[in-house]
Structure 1
Amino acid sequence: MQNKWWIPLLKGIVFIILGILSLMHPLNALLTLGAYIGYVSIFTGILYFIYYFTNKNEQEFTSWFLLEGLLDIVFGIVILSNPTRTAEVLPLLLGFWIILLGIVQISGGFALGKIYPKGKIWLLILGVLSIIFGFMIVNSPVISGMAITTMLGIFFLAYGGIQIYSSFKLKD
């Protein structure tokens, strides 16, 4: 698994770039948020598929990477398939996607804890934060677009940072 540490690193870098762009250009981010999230979601899903298929015989918890990759790809395709409708329901889609990712992260954290106890806590923290953030979005879908881009920018920075940190822990 140490030789695939770069996959979460790359995912973290992509999310940090997305977070910075969302915070620096909130109006543009609002207009293109669906496309950002759709493409990034598909990209990270593909990365997790690669991770799964290159590690599936090494660790039992890699099936969680397959599930997260599948969720990411399906979510990205749904968002990109109908941009007008996506703009109308984007907060709800984002909220539910983030909640699902949080559940997968928590489940993966418990599975990872059997093999790598130090990494368990970071996935659990990421999962809980994801679920809380997802519920905040679902419970307030009428939040202004600028608030959503700011919140997403912060979330993407945090998510990216934890992914990068986790990748270096996997490398050790």
Structure 2
Amino acid sequence: MRIVTIAAGILFTLFGVFCIANAGLSFMSMAFPIGIILIIVGIFECISYRKSLDNNEEKHWLLTEGLTTFILGVVVLTGQLAADIAVPVVFGMWVMISGIRGFVVLTQLKVDRANIVRDFDFYWDLVISALNIVIGLYTFFNNLLYPLSVLAILGICFAIQGATVIKFGYDMTYVKPDILKTKEEKLEEAETAAEEAHKEVRRAIRKARHAKKAAKEAENSKDFNELVNDIVDEDMKENV
């Protein structure tokens, strides 16, 4: 499934380059292959979301994006996008939502001990998300800025989304069936699981200590009424 997902992303990217190279064609002449590729990529994203990432919430984002891509492909195939004016806006919203999703993932999921881990994955997601939002916004002002043809805009959208799908495929983890695992592999997995369990226990202990410390500070602190009474008493003493 990992290889298939990467292949789907490459196909998406190559088709985007093809659309840019043939920007002079009309959208209706390319509607059928566009719809087919959107449906194929959407299906692969929906199928592969279970094996893509360890974080369950990020998996759900991938499933949402796969369903959105699939539905967009069905809309294109059924001929509901016939006006050239509406096509860039619809696809712009598609990539812009993907970019917003990427920023949400960055702010909520790529955090380790309250510090964002700035590795290759972080910068990749940051650049791709920013490009998606910029291209999505550009589609709304295409005629006011540097006007591009409909297929040129779609080609850029497909190329960027293809890079996103390739990254999804790269991040997918291959789970070997238990029946094919050797004794050494099973022992290694058990040791890894035990180490992760110890880390979780240590995190839980730290959280419990912080909670106890906060409870003691709250217990020893004065509430609002006590502070007001103290201030009033001091004022009365000064006036006397």
Q: TM-score, normalised by structure 2?
A: 0.56
1:124 correspondence with 2:120: no
Larger radius of gyration between Structure 1 and Structure 2: 2
1:79 correspondence with 2:76: yes
Q: How does 1:1-172 map to 2 (within 5 A)?
A: 5-6=2-3, 8-28=5-25, 30-54=27-51, 58-60=54-56, 61-83=58-80, 85-114=82-111, 117=117, 118=119, 119-140=121-142, 147-161=149-163, 163-164=165-166, 167-168=169-170
C-alpha distance 79-63 of structure 1, shift in aligned 2 (>3 A): same
Show CA shifts across 1:104-149 (max 9, x none): 2222344552489432321222111101101110233688996332
Identity value in percent: 22
- Unaligned 5+ segments in structure 2 are 174-240
- Unaligned 5+ segments in structure 1 are none
Does structure 1 conserve the Cα–Cα contact (< 8 Å) formed by 2:35 and 2:73?
yes
Opposite residue 44 of structure 2, the aligned amino acid is: L
C-alpha distance 106-38 of structure 1, shift in aligned 2 (>3 A): farther
Q: TM-score, normalised by structure 1?
A: 0.74
Show CA shifts across 1:75-99 (max 9, x none): 1112222256354521221111111
Q: Secondary structure of the residue that 2:82 maps to in structure 1?
A: helix
Q: Secondary structure of the residue that 2:24 maps to in structure 1?
A: helix
Higher RCO (Cα < 8 Å, 6 or more apart): 1
Opposite residue 92 of structure 2, the aligned amino acid is: G
C-alpha distance 91-144 of structure 1, shift in aligned 2 (>3 A): farther
Opposite residue 127 of structure 1, the aligned amino acid is: S
Which moved further from structure 2: 23-32 or 109-118?
A: 109-118
C-alpha distance 77-158 of structure 1, shift in aligned 2 (>3 A): closer
